[in-house]
Chains A and B, each alone.
Chain A
Amino acid sequence: MFSHLILGLRNAGLPASITEYLTLMAAMRAGIAEYSVEDFYYLARATLVKDERHLGKFDRVFGACFKGLEPPEGIKPQELPEEWLLKLAEKLLTPEEMKKIEALGGFEAIMKRLKELLAEQKERHQGGSKWIGTAGTSPFGAYGYNPEGVRIGQDKSRNRTAVKVWDKRDFKDLDDTVELGTRGMKLALRRLRRFARQGAATELDLPDTIKSTANNAGMLDLKLVPERHNTVKVLLFLDIGGSMDDYVKLTEELFSAARSEFKHLEHYYFHNFPYERVWKNNRRRHEEQIPTWQVLRTYGPDYKLIFVGDGAMSPYEITMPGGSVEHWNEEAGTVWIERLTGHYRRAAWLNPTPKQSWGHVRSITMINDLMEGRMFPLTVNGIDEMTRELSR
């Protein structure tokens, strides 16, 4: 009955399964949603979506599948507030048109013209794109309307109706393909724990148990030690200054989120591209530089190295000795990055710029090649991919 909903969800990348579909059917049979569309929406959401990141997508698919389903609650065409329609008309019609129409027959004519416009608009939006691609294309904002007045607009009295709820797209922020907020960032970094943890179990301390049992005249005396866990060690290299200024905030968020996740987390700053010197305190970056060699010596290859940078620079900064914009570097950036990635086999590059644009920037493609394709966008998804790659 609702198979198109399931198919739609699966096409949109939601992991809805047959089991869940059958559960939904069973719940419907048990009469949980009865005849209310709104309840059905809530029920379907509780059954089919298991992760708040997917709620936004679910709303979109649900909207596309069931548009026009919700009953014409409350608002009849003739009940539409006149000012509201006039305002709409003002938005749609040029002043000249308004004048012309007014000359033709005032309000009635305006409404007629408006209806035509709305009908036109509807045609343009057919094929399911209405709910997805609305941004900027529709003069009425994101909400649906209908020239018959069944669903015209977003009137206040309809606050609680279903279409409002799933058209609100409240969960957009939780979608994992959008850029990160602090919370999303934390979630993503928590995934690093997946390979960090070795279980929090307590384990038997055999030597101590034997010793203690012997002391106890053969009476068993178990000694336990807490198992060590969270052994992941991370070395963060953060790009600061220059083209990264736009992303400093985002980087800082990542940084603050990362800090609470690991026992061993070290961070260093670099500018544009890592060369022979990095620094720990950006305010004193010129006084307190640390040789990259020292970093390589200090932290063993069991550290996982994560660069955060937009990678937008002149290709010379990567390939040529002396290419750095700040100082004269004896060895080219490529040498340094190969040294770093050679030492730290688990290395990745997080890029805050959208992935689609990477192909257009030559230096980004070069870095991506140097990182052997381990460049990931700074989104929850990207971090997820990165952790998977790093824990492999």
Chain B
Amino acid sequence: MALYRAHVLVCGEPRCVARGAQEVQAALVAKLEELGLGQEIQVLETTALGHGDQGPEIVVYPEGTHYVNLTPDDARLIAEEHLLKGRPVTRLIYKELPTEPLPPPAAKEVRVVLRNIGKIDPESIDDYIAEEGYQALAKVLSEMTPQQVIDEVLRSGLRGRGGAGFPAGKKWAFAAAQPGPDKYLICNGDEGDPGAFMNRRVLEGDPHAVIEGMIIAGYATGAHQGYFYVRAEYPIAVRTLRIAIQQARDYGLLGKNILGSGFDFDLELRMGAGAFVCGEETALMASIEGQRGMPRTRPPFPAVKGLWGKPTNINNVETYANVPQIILKGAEWFAARGTEKSKGTKTFAVAGKVKRTGLIEVPFGITLREIVYDVGGGILNDKKFKAVQTGGPMGGCIPEQYLDTPVDYETLGQLGSIMGSGGFVVMDEDTCMVDIARFFMEFAQDESCGKCVPCRVGTRRMLEILEDICAGKGQPGDIERLEALAQEVRLGSLCGLGQGAPNPVLSTIKYFRHEYEAHIYDHKCPAKVCKGLIEYKIDPAACTGCTACARNCPVSCITGKPKQTHVIDPEICIRCGICQQVCKFGAVLVE
């Protein structure tokens, strides 16, 4: 038996072969022969090595060195450098990025904020610098006055990306106009909208873009201390930020006399503790100050009186992340994309019943249809599109007839929804819109801070009505009661949570009233979701009596002898759907 001193495993999966794995293997084997190593090193073809999209790939044992994206020339190099001379070729080794990579951009995507995600190592400031990182800061500190920076951001048309869409330059101008010297900057990283994860990816994958934006904002507004407020549910983002902040300090990009300009600015991290309402700016500041995260009235606005009573500029992660590119490439470049009042690009977190979920970045003005079908790949299992919910729990559901609407702040508002932070949940024919409204109202109820009676009690009452409707106990007049309550909650609430909580209900009533009516008057759930309104029945024509359903039923509500038609007892049935999943004959129907 030959004794080999090293083994090389080559991935022979079809995907790798399609990318030239066989040529790579042949080159490797040939070179090893040429170097006289053919008897010492065994080359084996194997199944997937784990990084499917990075083939051709090999692993060298006993070291376990994993090389990816190889060409035949790379293979020859590895043979000579690593296998003969014992020097691994580091530039070809697989580098595990702490965050998952983004798929390549779809045709209609334009990646500005997302440009570095998955391409650079977020724990390497050098990687960021190599991608024009901190050049905008250098330009600002050496060539521009604070007022010029504000003017540039104003001209770009950048609107706050957290949801309200207030012009960022205007906000900065307010803070800049306040007397110093104590002023603060806050980055709102408390992304809590169900369905939203854009900020998480940016903080995890390109933290320096946000840091650079904040330093520039600090210079423009006259703030010397900034705070990141990040939700505790994002531990990787917290870790990446801590590392990035320290690296920036080490490089003199944070701290005193940045780049020799005389400008001091530093950043600290603060974490949330699980309260959605702390995404609201005044609640966020209360949380930093060690209190319950409850909003307060505005005016005074944070720009005038914010953290510890001092002028504070607070912006979303994505707003800051856009700033370095605007400074480097100019306001005109930014404003060239988008619509008349909504300039630039926006990230969206596409979730729900689409083929391609995940993060995208597209220019404003793209239509809903393009996002769902061109970028999202269309509806999962080719089912029928029903609605898209934009803007998170304070947003609305938009039905099929508006799919060709170009997306911007104004158009979404006109349709009864909001831009929000970029949540984009796609629903199909199997989604019950009343159930969805109930879900979002439950969320609002859970997260209501309790300060305002209309929000605290109003959302509870609305939720009770929605739960009754979904359970089949809806009463005539419920829809009207929901609409009336919605007005009171909206008008009587101090902050965006209460003001927006009725939106999912109102928009689903507006566009899907027939579903509400079916629940209440016909005791039917058209989408067959609401447990109290559906029945699982076995079709005697299709049932073969195989007993699979009865054996798998968690509540043993199915009776029947082998080879005879089985029957479900609707009184005991909990509508879990397991019987339908295990039936191989399509004999379980939902009505």
A and B found bound together: no
B interface vs A, CB < 8 Å? none
